[in-house]
Amino acid sequence: MIISVPRETHRHEHRVGLSPFAVSRLIKQGHTVLIEREAGKGAHFTDQVYQKVGGQIVYSSDEVYKRAQLVCRVGTISAEELELLSPDTTICAFHHLAVASKEMIRQLQELRTTLIGYEIVQDEKKRLPILLPFSEMAGHMSVHVAAGYLQTEMGGRGILMGNVPGVPPPTVLILGAGTVGSMAACQALASGAHVIVFDASLPKLRHLNNRLSGRAVTMVPTAARLAQYSAIADVLIGAVLIPGGRAPYLITEEMVRAMKPGSVILDIAIDQGGCVETSRPTTLDQPTFKMHDVIHFCVPNMTANVARTASRALANEVLPFIQNLANLGVDGALWEDVGLGRGVYLYRGEMVNEGIGKAMNIPVKNLRDLLPGDGVS
């Protein structure tokens, strides 16, 4: 199979779709891997390193898309790149179709594209293995980022993210007890903060409570509780995840208005629309804005700022799936691996994701009904 790794075109996206290690494994299995020139530059993977393991460097986006049977990238394809895409191509990436335009989806359908979203691929236990390391990194980073913006010179409340004897610690409010929220809670507690975690799932709260030996306050959210505790928070971390769907607004503008001046919101759910009503996407070069005197950090691809670590973590998780797609063919891999099949948004232009289809008012078909009976076309 011909596999292509394009250079990411979204602003400040420094990660790369496949690491040199992943490319070497695919080459050894007899596949051709095309790397667009300087695709790995942001992660400090040189073209020479890719060539050394057998990758072919190509010098135009047109070639990297026209020749590809399978495209491996990080972020969703841009409108400009869509013009270069050949019909019947399979694209693997973090597509986040819940916040995509209906027009882009229509164009992908016309090209009979198969779209696999890393953010909704599942393993045999219905976990999200590809999303997991990015959630861990985002949770880890969120506390460090918040600590910086709490400082006086950054416009924050002038509070140390730490425990100073005789001084009250900062209060960190976390929405969501999943991977991001759990990691953020661990980091915040390690820094000496007072931590409060909300989640609608009692099993998740119980698991987190046991993991943290009861050191964090855990609660099921209600509007009244969210209003009460957001008003005392120095840091609010939004870590809500609806797999494949848009995140709900849990924090209203009225709640933000009632927060302390100079407090910090990190809306990690912004790549799925955000869970704070006042949030809007920001970038790594302009990561924050203030509204109602509250600092908002809403960078969808915050792990792009640790591009080498993130690219290696991505490659570790996606490689088994990419190998199956390449070795068995797309149909064969989707037939054999039900979890990979759950990661499909579009199959040869047909919408097969019920949540997105319903939200976009697009007819939905069952993937298993569309696949050849033995997975081989």
Tens digit of pLDDT for each residue in 258-293? 999 999 999 999 988 999 999 999 999 999 999 999
CA dihedral 244, 246, 250, 252 (to 10 degrees): 160
202, 333: one domain: no
215, 173: one domain: yes
158, 295: one domain: yes
The pair of structure tokens assigned to 50 is 């890719």
Indicate whether 128 belongs to any domain.
no
Question: Looking at residue 89, which CATH number applies to its domain?
Answer: 3.40.50.720
Domain boundary among 246, 279, 300: 300
Indicate whether 201 belongs to any domain.
yes
A 10 A CB-CB count for 363 gives 7
Pairing mode, strands 288-291 and 294-297: antiparallel
pLDDT class for 375, splitting at 50, 70, 90? Answer: low
The pair of structure tokens assigned to 51 is 């060539």
The pair of structure tokens assigned to 2 is 């011909």
DSSP string, 316-346: HHHHHHHHHHHHHHHHHHHHH-HHHHTTEEE
Indicate whether 129 belongs to any domain.
no
In contact, 347 and 372? CB cutoff 8 Å: no
Smallest Cα–Cα separation from 115: which of 298, 347, 289, 281? 347
75, 206: one domain: no
Strand partners, 290: 295
Smallest Cα–Cα separation from 188: which of 150, 229, 153, 134? 150
Indicate whether 61 belongs to any domain.
yes
Strand order across the 350-351 sheet: 56-58, 32-36, 2-5, 70-75, 90-94, 114-117, 344-347, 350-351
pLDDT class for 313, splitting at 50, 70, 90? Answer: very high
Question: Which residue range is the domain that position 30 belongs to?
Answer: 2-120+306-370
Domains: count for the chain = 2
> Between the CA of residue 3 and those of 36, 40, 70, what are the distances in Å?
11, 15, 5
Mean pLDDT, residues 344-365 taken together: 95
pLDDT class for 374, splitting at 50, 70, 90? Answer: low
Indicate whether 360 belongs to any domain.
yes
169, 205: one domain: yes
72, 180: one domain: no
> Which pLDDT value is given to residue 233?
99
The widest CA-to-CA distance across the chain, in whole angstroms, is 70
Q: Using the predicted structure, report yes or no on whether residue 376 has a pLDDT greater than 60.
A: no
> What average pLDDT is seen over the chain?
95
162, 236: one domain: yes
Express as a percent the part of the chain with pLDDT over 70: 99
The pair of structure tokens assigned to 330 is 């797309």
Indicate whether 215 belongs to any domain.
yes
In contact, 242 and 272? CB cutoff 8 Å: yes
A 10 A CB-CB count for 151 gives 15
Whether the full predicted model's pTM is greater than 0.75, yes or no, is: yes
Indicate whether 277 belongs to any domain.
yes
Domain boundary among 273, 300, 327: 300
262, 340: one domain: no
pLDDT tens, position by position, 112-167: 999 999 999 998 888 999 999 999 999 999 999 999 999 999 999 999 999 899 99
In contact, 202 and 226? CB cutoff 8 Å: no
Q: How far apart are CA 84 and CA 33, in angstroms?
A: 18
143, 233: one domain: yes
Indicate whether 126 belongs to any domain.
no
Q: How far apart are CA 317 and CA 343, in angstroms?
A: 14
Q: Using the predicted structure, report yes or no on whether residue 45 has a pLDDT greater than 80.
A: yes
Domain boundary among 243, 269, 300: 300
Question: CA-based angle 216:221:224, to the nearest 5?
Answer: 115
**Which active-site residues does the annotation give?**
96, 271
190, 293: one domain: yes
